[in-house]
Amino acid sequence: MNSGYSLFGSIVITSLTKFNFFLSTKPIQISKRPIIPDILDAAKIIELARDTIQIEERTLSALAAGLGDSFVDAIKSIHGSDGRLVVTGIGKSALIGHKLVATFNSTGTPALFMHAADAVHGDIGMLLEEDILLILSKSGETAEIKALVPLVREKGNSILAIVSKEDSYLAQHADVVIEAKVEKEADPHNLAPTASTVAQLALGDAMAVCLLNLKGFGKTDFATLHPGGTLGKQLYLRVSDIYPRHEVPRVLPDANVKEVILEISSKRLGATAVVNREEQVVGIITDGDLRRMLERFDQFSAVTADDIMTTSPKIIAPDELAIKAAEIIRENSIGQLLVVDGSRYLGIVHIHDLLKEGLV
């Protein structure tokens, strides 16, 4: 009988036995231990937090120093593949795997996650002929990984491993092994996956960054995959996507103060353009201009738009990127930009529009 399937059968029997055991026993009771007084001390809390970060920092430093040919081989293997990168793992490694898949996909490396436990119950069907399997495991000895590896071997897919123990089952059976050696976990009992998961995450991120550089993956590519994100908006959102949301405030140069105030109030943009009969912009009147008018004039009945407008207002073309509008508004400490196509006035872009888009 195939040794891989024999191993798989023994794992299934063991799992069923454990399942029946848990069904027949009472839930595990975790005793409520009194809080140790020292733990409540602020200095002790900071000390524990710093110890955790320093342990993980040392792990990452050792990891960086130990990178070698196996890491390069893994990158070349993924870059040269016509298939996808399938990431798998168990427990906390699986959670790290989910994050890495998201990072790979968003940086131009097609990837998907396959849980190791589900893989031996049918999900291995998602592994296509050209795909490469990346297995994350601290021990490299978990039963699910041992069951999965021979099945993948039989399908003929390459196996890359990020594993902490170089003499483990996984390390002995993978095509490329990236050792993520961990001296100790950060918790006092050296049990909770902390430094080991940080190591997996860092190596996966390093792989993603190397691959995106090899692909020449740039800002435009990133924006293509993130059209709803801030970077996507910076590279794609245009002024013409924004200004049509509003009505178009405008008055003639000879409009009186009442007409100006009503136009600004009704259009709710805090300003109005002043245009001539040909719809060409000759100025702008903002709330600030109205306040300055109160300082300059005692009587307003004869005051016109031409008397209080700001000439040579800041303008922008409709086909410009919205991020440029944000830059002009920020640099000039203003709240509105007039949108002008050639000589024709089209509308206003308000700072609040840009704030809503996350550009200011």
23: in domain: no
Q: In what order do the strands lie in the sheet with 315-316?
A: 315-316, 336-341, 344-350
Say whether both 110 and 170 belong to one domain. Answer: yes
pLDDT at residue 22, rounded to an integer:
45
Which residues are within 8 A (CB) of 164 and not within 5 positions of it... i.e. 6 or more apart?
137, 138, 139, 140, 179, 180, 181, 182, 196, 199
Q: Are residues 204 and 87 in the same domain?
A: yes
Cα distance between residue 151 and residue 157, in whole Å: 10
The domain of 50 spans: 3-15+34-217
Question: What value does the mean pLDDT take over residues 88-104?
Answer: 97
pLDDT in tens, 150-172: 999 999 999 999 999 999 999 99
- Banded model confidence at residue 219, pLDDT cuts 50, 70, 90: confident
Which tens digit of pLDDT belongs to each residue from 129-152? 999 999 999 999 999 999 999 999
* pLDDT higher than 80, residue 115: yes
From CA 15, how far away is CA 289, in angstroms rounded? Answer: 77
323 and 200 within one domain: no
- Per the domain annotation, does 224 fall within a domain? no
Percent of the chain with pLDDT over 70: 89
Which CATH number fits the domain that encloses residue 191? 3.40.50.10490
DSSP 34: P
Residue 324, domain CATH: 3.10.580.10
In a domain, 256, yes or no: yes
Out of 182, 217, 252, a domain closes at 217
CB count within 10 Å of CB 176 equals: 21
Together in a domain, 43 and 173: yes
Number of domains in the chain: 2
Position 235 scores a pLDDT of 81
What is the distance between the alpha carbons of residues 298 and 286, in angstroms, rounded to a whole number?
Answer: 19
Query: Does one domain contain both 202 and 144?
Result: yes
Check residues 27 and 47 and name the one with the higher pLDDT. 47
